[in-house]
Amino acid sequence: MNSQEFRRRGNEMVEYICQYLETLEDRKVTPSVEPGYLRHLLPDEAPYHGEDWDRIMEDVESKIMPGVTHWQHPRFHAYFPSGNSFPSILGDMLSDGIGCIGFSWAASPACTELETIVLDWLGRAIGLPDDFLALKAGSKGGGVIQTSASECVLVTMLAARAQAIKHLKQQHPFVEEGHLLSKLMAYCSKEAHSCVEKAAMICFVKLRILEPDSKCSLRGNTLTKAMEEDELQGLVPFFVSTTLGTTGSCSFDALEEIGVALQRFPGVWLHVDAAYAGNAFICPELKYLLKGIEYADSFNTNPNKWLLTNFDCSTLWVRDRIRLTSALVVDPLYLKHGYSDAAIDYRHWGVPLSRRFRSLKLWFVLRSYGISGLQNYIRHHIELAKRFEQLVNKDKRFEICNEVKLGLVCFRLIGSDKLNEKFLSGINASAKIHMVPASVNDQYVIRFCAVAQNATEDDIG
């Protein structure tokens, strides 16, 4: 395809996307296909000769779309939102057009610098302390875009691990590192995202999963007690992952309590995973939910969830970028450049070496909507959730199972888990609405999340 044809096909794709999104509610939310459906529709091997574009797009509509779960559908209320907006799509288009790989500053200076600046913009907008911003005078911190919250949790745990091992090594220079590693203990709540468990598996460290209180919030004294017990056993607490806005029920760990408690355990890394809820802190009236952030070493939120930015765009800030990167630096000659010492090289901030120009889409979203536009979007979703909560409360057959602070409502039929499973299965089988379950206080609940950018009250009525 040459640029002349791309002019035509690009415009057709723009039109296809518009029509897809404009008529989405005519489609079923979820597909009615069984595993293996697509292999019966596509050939076993790639074509030898190139095919005409029209044929390819026909297959998109006739073969791919019937197997798509429509995350942008106004009646998709599962998981959390998958960020999407026109300015964000334009940002990805431009990133693809430029097609640069920003692993080091020199590999494309604008790619690195815009990321640093836009992360400062967003960090400031959601109310992070100045220490987390790269361009504040005297700050040692900064932000980076990662592929996913899983990666944010992993790299901060890796940094904490490196720091803890280094410290232990000074105290016990002749002990084998594997033995030191076996002493390390990380902590999170039972309500933390499964990625904390995955990160601990990868880091090969023990993870103690703690019971939250009845509001699904991890409390400071629960943590302190566990850490003291473990220290008595000769173990070394090194990392705590807290959550603001859990996946199950959008509950909030008692960050301030935990931060205060950790003062007695110097050197323990405090991470805050606010993948969903963190985006909401862009609203002044919700910033109280961030209380305690002054104790944290790192913080992540996903604009690709709730800030109208397409996946992948998971933003991570750290208070001390040297502590982060020291766990990940490897430096061969073919990646060195004249400014290696003076500039940020984001390849040391995460697992992958190569990186897209992801800050473009976030920059486009922040500028095109402005902070006020994004606040309105967040507030609209919260209103929809509140409205849904009211509707549930009016119906005596149901009960609400979480404190509805943001866009997620957990509810259930009063009765057994089995009854609720059957009820949810029936709803999902209709393919008119899509929701997923969670376990809250060991009960099966149904999660309703406000998701679509332009959903109205009718979509939730």
Pairing mode, strands 443-449 and 398-400: unpaired
The distance of closest approach from Cβ of residue 109 to a copy of itself in the complex, given in angstroms and rounded to an integer, is: 4
Cα–Cα distance measured from residue 171 to residue 153, given in angstroms and rounded to the nearest whole number? 27
Q: Which of 29, 75, 77, 85 binds a copy of itself (CB under 8 A)?
A: 85
Contact window for a copy of itself (CB under 8 A) among 71-79, 231-239, 285-293, 395-403? 71-79
CB 375 within 8 A of CB 282: yes
| Residue 446 β-bridge partners | 411, 437
Summarize the chain as % helix, strand, coil (round to 5).
Answer: 50, 15, 40
Q: Which of 173, 266, 332, 426 binds a copy of itself (CB under 8 A)?
A: 332
Residue 7 or 397: the one with the smaller Cβ distance to a copy of itself is 7
Q: Is 279 in the site for a copy of itself (CB under 8 A)?
A: no
Q: Is 99 in the site for a copy of itself (CB under 8 A)?
A: yes
Q: Which of 29, 74, 77, 79 binds a copy of itself (CB under 8 A)?
A: 79
CB 386 within 8 A of CB 379: no
The distance of closest approach from Cβ of residue 267 to a copy of itself in the complex, given in angstroms and rounded to an integer, is: 19
DSSP alpha helices (H): ranges in 60-148?
Answer: 86-98, 109-126
CA–CA distance from 454 to each of 247, 299, 389 (Å)? 23, 29, 19
Residue 295 or 306: the one with the smaller Cβ distance to a copy of itself is 306
Count of all residues that appear for the chain in the document? 461
The distance of closest approach from Cβ of residue 414 to a copy of itself in the complex, given in angstroms and rounded to an integer, is: 20
The distance of closest approach from Cβ of residue 221 to a copy of itself in the complex, given in angstroms and rounded to an integer, is: 26
Residue 261 or 408: the one with the smaller Cβ distance to a copy of itself is 408
Q: Is 93 in the site for a copy of itself (CB under 8 A)?
A: yes
Q: Is the dihedral of CA 373, 377, 378, 383 positive or negative?
A: positive
Residue 34 or 458: the one with the smaller Cβ distance to a copy of itself is 34
Q: Which of 174, 214, 342, 458 binds a copy of itself (CB under 8 A)?
A: 342
The distance of closest approach from Cβ of residue 176 to a copy of itself in the complex, given in angstroms and rounded to an integer, is: 5
Q: Which of 29, 75, 114, 159 binds a copy of itself (CB under 8 A)?
A: 114
Q: Which of 216, 218, 401, 438 binds a copy of itself (CB under 8 A)?
A: 438
Sheet holding 142-146, edge to edge: 142-146, 314-318, 298-301, 269-273, 236-243, 184-189, 206-210
Q: Which of 27, 28, 125, 423 binds a copy of itself (CB under 8 A)?
A: 125
Pairing mode, strands 443-449 and 436-440: antiparallel
Q: Is 204 in the site for a copy of itself (CB under 8 A)?
A: yes
Residues 386-425 that bind a copy of itself (CB under 8 A): none
The distance of closest approach from Cβ of residue 191 to a copy of itself in the complex, given in angstroms and rounded to an integer, is: 10
Q: Which of 295, 369, 377, 388 binds a copy of itself (CB under 8 A)?
A: 369
**Per-residue binder mask for a copy of itself (CB under 8 A), 127-166, x = binder:** --------x-----------xxxxx--x---x--x-----
68 Cβ neighbours under 8 A, 6+ residues apart: 31
Q: Is the dihedral of CA 368, 374, 375, 379 positive or negative?
A: positive
Residue 178 or 266: the one with the smaller Cβ distance to a copy of itself is 178
Q: Is 217 in the site for a copy of itself (CB under 8 A)?
A: no
Q: Which of 26, 34, 458, 461 binds a copy of itself (CB under 8 A)?
A: 34
- Residue for token pair 């009016």: 394
Q: Which of 50, 173, 426, 461 binds a copy of itself (CB under 8 A)?
A: 50
Residues 2-21 that bind a copy of itself (CB under 8 A): 2-3, 5-7, 9-11, 13-18, 20-21
Q: Is 373 in the site for a copy of itself (CB under 8 A)?
A: yes
Radius of gyration of the chain from its Cα atoms, rounded to whole angstroms? 24
Q: Is 235 in the site for a copy of itself (CB under 8 A)?
A: no
Cα–Cα distance measured from residue 378 to residue 307, given in angstroms and rounded to the nearest whole number? 8
User: Quick one: CA torsion of 271, 272, 275, 277, rounded to 10 degrees?
Assistant: 180
Q: How many CB atoms lie within 10 A of CB 423?
A: 16
Total residues binding a copy of itself (CB under 8 A): 149
Q: DSSP characters for 366-417? A: HHHHHHHHHHHHHHHHHHHHHHHHHHHHHSTTEEE-S--SSSEEEEEESS-H
Residue 118 or 258: the one with the smaller Cβ distance to a copy of itself is 118
47 Cβ neighbours under 8 A, 6+ residues apart: none
The distance of closest approach from Cβ of residue 40 to a copy of itself in the complex, given in angstroms and rounded to an integer, is: 10
Residue 298 or 304: the one with the smaller Cβ distance to a copy of itself is 304
